[in-house]
Every structure is written in C-alpha cells, then in structure tokens.
Structure 1
C-alpha cells in the first residue's frame, strides 16, 4: 500500500475493511474540503479501487453519513465526553492532547458543519452530529450527579466545541488545557451544590 495521500502528505496506515474506508474519507474531507469527497479520492487515500468504496456505501451521501457517525463515536470515545466516572477531573481527560494527535477528525466535522449553511443534506448531518454530542455531554454530567433538562449540557458542550475549533484552527493546546481546567472547577462547584467562586479582580492602578 502506498503511503502518499491525495493531498501529497504522508497517509496514515488505515488497515482493511469498511472502517478503514471511513477513516480515509475523514482524511480526504479534513485536508481538501467536502466537495472533494468522491469514491476515487477515498480509494486513492486508502490505496484501494474506487469500485470497492462504491460497493461498501452505494452513494456519496451514505459514505458521508457513515463517516460522520464514525467520527462522532471516535471523538466521544477518546475524549471521554461520555465518561463512566463521577469525578469532574476525568471529564474530557486530556482533550488538548487528543485534538493535537488527531486534528483531521475534528477538522472533518467542522467541514460538514460549514457546508450545512449551504446544503439541506449537510444540515441534517450537522444536526445529528450536535445531537449526539449534546446527549453524550448530558450523560457525562448525569454520572457526576449534575442533572439538568438540557441547557447546562448544551453550555458545556458549546464551550468544549469552541475550544476544539480554536485548537484545530490556530493550534492553542495550552489555552485548551487552561480552559478545561476552569470548566472542571465549575463542574465541581455544581456537583457540590455551591456556586463557583469568582477570582478577585486585580485592582486597577490609578494614573
């Protein structure tokens, strides 16, 4: 199998089977954009014939939808968004490092989200993506004993979504770590039933 991708950079080892084709599709979209998602591009990225890609998925939309669901599951699993732990310290453990190791996974999802502004088809996929993440965030909060009817989980996910976007686009891993640390402080306060403590502001020196 060749190690040169359609984008000219080294291609990761995909292995074999349907999952390998989904990983290749994620890479194509992340590096070239959604309009370049074709059977031939995915086949070239994975080092197989385009007929094999067509055989597995049947249509471009089916390929995109399956790749999106695959990316969501991968992201939720590795970030521990749907954590089994009741401790806020374990919530999205190592998020900055995970994003740094696999930026294509998240870039792929943002490409789908941007396309949702122009395509009703992509919008349906984007709605499924966000619904999956919000549900996972709600489950994670519930295991910490933080029950809510949706707004808190939406707020937590929105904060994480923004941090991941910033890191993927400008590479601010350190900022992600600090912000996640602050988010865990808020979750600890909610878990204990007390309001988060505000840090005192520094006094402004008079001119």
Structure 2
C-alpha cells in the first residue's frame, strides 16, 4: 500500500465527494480516481478494497469536521458553540452527506456498522466529556439529548434545504439549550 499522506487525503476527499453526490452505490475505486483526477488504479494502490475505503472515509470526515482550536477557547456559550457547529456543517455539506450515506451503508454491512458504532460512540463520549469538563450547563443525559436534537436539525438542513427557512434556527437552538441544558438543574 502506498503511504503518501497528501495523496491519501486527496483520494479520501474525492471519495467523500463521490459518496455525497452519487451515494454508496456510486462509490467505486475507479470513481474516486476520476474525481481526484488521478490515473485509473491509483486508489487501489492506497485502499485494498472498498470496505477499507469506507472506514478510511469515516476517519477523514472527523479530520475535516474538527473545529478550529480557536473556537474551543473559553469562555463558552453553548448556543454559540452549537451555532458554530451548524455553520461548519453547512460549509462542509458534502462531508455530512457522506456521513449520512455511511450510516445507511452500515445498515447493510456489519463490519462497517461495527466500525461506525465504535467511531460514533467514541466521538459522543469525547463530546460529553469535553462539555462537562468545560463547565457548561447540563449533565450527561442533557448533552446526549442536545446531540440527538442537533443531529435531527442537521439532517433536515442537509436533506430538505429550506425546510427550516420559515423558522428562526438560532432561536430553535437557543430553546433547545434552555430546555435540555438548564442553567439551574431544578428547572
């Protein structure tokens, strides 16, 4: 297997674009080569098979979606952080669409389901820990509820553009935070 990290990243970025645009059935090593503008067979030098490519795409999405460290310096405001998350998702629309495709593909591929569950589970646990360590309002269960609510908002924003246009999305995020992560735990 080839080890050029820049070429591997470029191939994975091309794979993300193909997956987002064509869906899982359109994702082939040949399609990745074409999208990346490299000679046919290049992707097969980096990925032994399609299943390996799918798992590598999963990890590349994490690299591309990691927030800028400047966005993770305090003082923190959960509403602002979630607003930045939504902005990042909109900027990286194809990455999130590819993640949705990976989720769907995982329903048909047990090995991908296992990798996705482990990856997503670790991500969720890291987010919960970060939230609690940052001293933001709410508890573990509230953070999981915010995760689920934001996931639904992002899926609708990605798959049905315009659906949320009549609604004040910033206000919705604020309401989610107030209700699911109250400042006063007695609320």
- TM-score where L is the length of structure 2: 0.79
Aligned mate of 1:77, from 64, 67, 70: 67
Q: Counterparts of 2:136 and 2:112 in 1: how far apart (Å)?
A: 33
Aligned mate of 1:88, from 77, 86, 90: 77
Match of 1:12 in 2: none
**CA displacement, residues 50-70 of structure 1 (integer Å, 9 cap, x when unaligned):** 322111222222211111111
Decide whether the 8 Å contact of 2:83 with 2:170 is kept in 1.
Answer: no
**Match runs of 1:1-207 below 5 Å:** 17-77=7-67, 83-89=72-78, 90-146=80-136, 150-171=140-161, 172=163, 174=165, 175=167, 176-186=169-179, 189-190=182-183, 193-196=184-187
How big is the alpha-carbon RMSD for the aligned residues of Structure 1 and Structure 2? Answer: 2.7
Structure possessing the higher relative contact order (Cα contacts under 8 Å, 6 or more residues apart): 2
Match of 1:205 in 2: none
Q: Which residues of structure 1 form unaligned runs of 5+?
A: 1-15, 197-207
Instruction: Tell me the SS of whatever aligns to 1:92.
Output: helix
Relative to 1, partners in 2 of residues 1:45 and 1:145: Cα closer, same or farther, differing over 3 Å? Answer: same
Instruction: Tell me the SS of whatever aligns to 2:41.
Output: helix
Relative to 1, partners in 2 of residues 1:137 and 1:40: Cα closer, same or farther, differing over 3 Å? Answer: same
Q: How many residues align?
A: 177
Deviation at 1:186, TM superposition (A): 4.3
Relative to 1, partners in 2 of residues 1:86 and 1:77: Cα closer, same or farther, differing over 3 Å? Answer: same
Q: Counterparts of 2:157 and 2:30 in 1: how far apart (Å)?
A: 30
- Between Structure 1 and Structure 2, which shows a larger proportion of helix residues? 2
Greater Cα radius of gyration, structure 1 or 2 = 1
Instruction: Tell me the SS of whatever aligns to 2:102.
Output: helix
Match of 1:200 in 2: none
Deviation at 1:195, TM superposition (A): 4.1
Instruction: Tell me the SS of whatever aligns to 2:178.
Output: helix
